């Protein structure tokens, strides 16, 4: 257990109400949802709406969407934040669902707080590090946002094809456009620190054997940001895991094809609880 709380972690302990959306009965088993880079807790609206009949579903804003966005942090800091949030909400244990960066964090949470977990849902996320070419590309992009103080419009147009699949870009333009416009409002330093928290993370594959709780990995079939093969490799190294592919969806599969994602998550929740 971590012994020293950062000011940002105290934020989650003491001001959690402003960072959280939750539905369902708190007495029911909890599904806690952590978003990915450039996203926020609203990306889990489909899960909040569909799964709160039988479960307590909570989605929260990670550090990049808070007033603490401009200070350096890493994935273990985000895991400490999540633990502080659970303590503040009186949640002894949960299934932790993490999309992309949220999934990177969930694996570190499992390493540091295994007693707080009943299971993990990895949404378009992997255990391996990024390739050197990706690290260089993303590093250049976030340096630009830092220098400009904002996300430039051309970058938003590029990222729409990273965070959303071909089907969503072609057929769900309103969904994608809404997120692009939101990205353009972010402080450049928030994006810089957010991506820096995970960009050069070490490989977590060797630690997967020690994760004893069941894991569901859902992955968009059109995900070009993190290839399906890497999710398959991760699942192969976990003691108790399965992979569900989500059709007509890219890197934000729970948001792009919520019906398929919710069906897989509901089945997993029923199996665990």
Residue 201: half-sphere exposure toward Cβ, Cα within 13 Å: 25
Give tens-digit pLDDT for 168-185: 999 999 999 999 999 999
Q: Which residue has the higher pLDDT, 7 or 148?
A: 148
Q: Which domains does the chain have, with CATH numbers?
A: 7-129+201-272 (3.40.50.1820)
Residue 9: half-sphere exposure toward Cβ, Cα within 13 Å: 19
CA 270, CA 273: separation in Å to the nearest integer? 5
Tokens of 11: 């934020």
Tokens of 252: 């934000």
pLDDT tier at 5 (50, 70, 90 boundaries)?
A: confident
Q: Which of 45, 16, 34 is nearest to 75 (CA)?
A: 34
Tokens of 143: 């340096």
Please report the pLDDT score of residue 112 as a whole number. Answer: 98
pLDDT tier at 91 (50, 70, 90 boundaries)?
A: very high
Residue 4 pLDDT exceeds 90 = no
Burial (Cβ within 10 Å: 0-12, 13-18, ≥19) of residue 76: middle
Please report the pLDDT score of residue 1 as a whole number. Answer: 44
Tokens of 7: 């000011």
CB 8 within 8 A of CB 73: yes
For the CA atoms of 260, 127, 239, 51, what is the dihedral angle to 10 degrees? -30
In terms of pTM, does the model score above 0.95?
yes
What mean pLDDT, rounded, does the chain reach? 97
């Amino acid at each position: 257990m971590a012994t020293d709380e950062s000011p940002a972690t105290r934020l989650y302990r003491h001001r959690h109400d402003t960072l959280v959306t939750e539905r369902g009965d708190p007495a029911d088993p909890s599904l806690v949802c952590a978003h990915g880079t450039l996203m926020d807790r609203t990306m889990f609206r489909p899960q909040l709406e569909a799964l709160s009949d039988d479960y307590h579903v909570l989605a929260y804003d990670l550090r990049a969407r808070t007033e603490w966005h401009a200070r350096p942090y890493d994935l273990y800091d985000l895991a400490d934040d999540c633990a502080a949030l659970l303590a503040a909400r009186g949640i002894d244990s949960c299934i932790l669902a993490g999309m992309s960066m949220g999934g990177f964090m969930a694996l570190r949470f499992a390493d540091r707080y295994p007693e707080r977990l009943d299971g993990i849902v990895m949404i378009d996320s992997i255990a391996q590090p990024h390739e050197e070419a990706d690290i260089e590309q993303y590093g250049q992009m976030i340096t630009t946002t830092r220098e400009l103080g904002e996300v430039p419009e051309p970058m938003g147009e590029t990222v729409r094809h990273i965070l959303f699949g071909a089907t969503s870009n072609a057929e769900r333009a309103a969904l994608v456009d809404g997120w692009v416009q939101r990205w353009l409002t972010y402080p450049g330093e928030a994006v810089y620190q957010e991506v820096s928290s995970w960009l050069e993370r070490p490989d977590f594959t060797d630690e997967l054997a020690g994760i004893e709780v069941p894991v569901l990995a859902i992955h968009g079939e059109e995900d070009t940001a993190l290839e399906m093969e890497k999710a398959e490799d991760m699942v192969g190294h976990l003691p108790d895991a399965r992979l569900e592919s989500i059709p007509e969806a890219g890197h934000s599969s729970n948001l792009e094809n919520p019906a398929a994602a919710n069906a897989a998550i509901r089945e997993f929740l029923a199996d665990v609880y």
